[in-house]
Structure 1
């Protein structure tokens, strides 16, 4: 026969065992959702990063492809590089004198230089995408319709400009940009159909503009050279095209044909 004291303790021991089982179950039930939540959050962040990178890649590839083909800038009114504003007086005078072809030729050479420079940006854009952090991706997903494009500008704008400038300078030489400008200047300043007074005025305008663009005397402080102007406009066109693709993907993720982009931007 069991001692009386053991008989009295048995119910208490049984209750303690049941209570411990309940505690263990509660702890297990509480900890499991945390693990699931943490795992879900990690997956969500990973998807966001992958989706943003893929969207950026699509935008960059399309922009470089469209702008880098023949006529990519010249035949696209949204990004076509116009005459610098300071050159418009001479261009207007030349057109009035029947020299529109000189103006068109100069504009064409500038846009051709930009087109030749664009492919150089592809590797830098790719490196920028590869270096994106989870924080960057999350900020882009939650940002404006051009948040990804703005990321490109901030992270790679300076590198892109440095990369394309040698190509632009080389292209300017190959496509005779300066020669085209000189022809325009000479036509506007030397046409026999104008009076000597008009000739002098046009030559004066051309001379002033030539100085402003580094053709002739040294460029005055604060003025932009023709190479810098084309370089800046080249990047403006590149970022414009990337932004247009980004806005399209955000408004209609299904058009991308990518499940990860649809998942990230289709929310």
Structure 2
């Protein structure tokens, strides 16, 4: 049947230029050989690969703390706390807190993969071709837009547990308590868990996006036949 179809196409192309023939045949073969289901499966596979590598990097020692791209700093909305404490010789306490904060994110990242994978499984086919032909982090942005609220709700308890485990919560409480005892300062009590959750997830998405760009740009990163076939369409 395929040969018959190709024969018919050749008949209709008899009066076309070489360039027109190549373009038409390319469109025909591309459409015929790659189904929407394959594209969707390939994108899901790429995302799973990305989150697997990304969460592995994030959850390793210094995955956050040693990576300037995703390292979580002292909360900027209470920057005056850090500045004031450093000015009175408590910079070491601030540094210790920042380290434990990032250790908490690294600990939480160990639990992130199944949450991401479950979200990826629910991906529909409607935007599949658009994602494939989109920017170099299109799939990551799609995943972020579709799952951020759900991931935040699921991830925040994990972050809380991780912050408690690494003593980040205690250090933060001690720091804020110390600051609030300083005469004539405005008292502060920001939400550490929400802050840490937001930046921990942002860091994970950053690493996933890096993996997606690698798969799109580097054929060697496409480790399965399906990935090679699907992402060859964008080369």
Question: With structure 2 as the length reference, what TM-score do the two structures score?
Answer: 0.78
Task: Report the Cα distance in structure 2 between the residues aligned to 1:33 and 1:165, rounded to whole angstroms.
Answer: 59
The 3-state SS of whatever aligns with 1:134 is coil
- Equivalent position of 2:144 in the other structure: 153
Mapped pair 1:68 → 2:56: no
**Counterpart in the other structure of 1:200:** 183
Aligned to 2:46, which of 55, 62, 72? 55
Compared with structure 1, are the counterparts of its residues 131 and 179 closer, same or farther at alpha carbon in structure 2 (3 Å cutoff)? Answer: closer
Residue 89 of structure 2 is aligned to residue 98 of structure 1:
yes
Deviation at 1:31, TM superposition (A): 10
Q: Do 1:168 and 1:231's aligned partners in 2 also have CA atoms closer than 8 Å?
A: yes
Partner of 1:111: 102
The structure with more radius of gyration: 1
**Contact 2:180–2:188 under 8 Å retained in 1:** no
Partner of 1:81: 72
Structure 1 unmatched ranges of 5 or more: 1-27, 191-198, 214-224
- Alpha-carbon contact 1:168-1:230 (below 8 Å) kept: yes
| Structure 1 counterpart of 2:226 | 260
Runs of 5+ in structure 2 lacking a partner? 10-26
SS of match in other structure, 2:143: helix
Structure 1 partner of 2:34:
44
Equivalent in 112, 121, 126 of residue 121 of structure 1: 112
Deviations 1:23-59 (A, max 9, x none): xxxxx9569869xx99974640243223212211111
- Alpha-carbon distance in structure 1 between the residues aligned to 2:89 and 2:5: 84
Task: Give 2:214's match in structure 1, choosing from 242, 248, 255.
Answer: 248
Q: Decide which structure has greater helix share.
A: 1
CA change 1:40–1:177 in 2 (3 A) is closer
Q: Is the 8 A contact 2:176 2:188 kept in 1?
A: no
1: CA distance, partners of 2:77 / 2:164:
22
- CA drift of 1:70 comes to 2.5
Q: Which of 116, 122, 126 in structure 2 is aligned with 1:135?
A: 126
Call closer, same or farther: CA 1:31–1:247 in 2, change over 3 Å: closer
Q: Taking CA–CA contacts closer than 8 Å with sequence separation of 6 or more, which of the two structures ends up with the larger relative contact order?
A: 2
Q: Is the 8 A contact 1:114 1:230 kept in 2?
A: yes
Shift in CA distance, 39/181, structure 1 to aligned 2, threshold 3 Å: same
CA distance in 1, matches of 2:198, 2:188: 19
In the comparison of the two structures, how many residue pairs are matched?
213
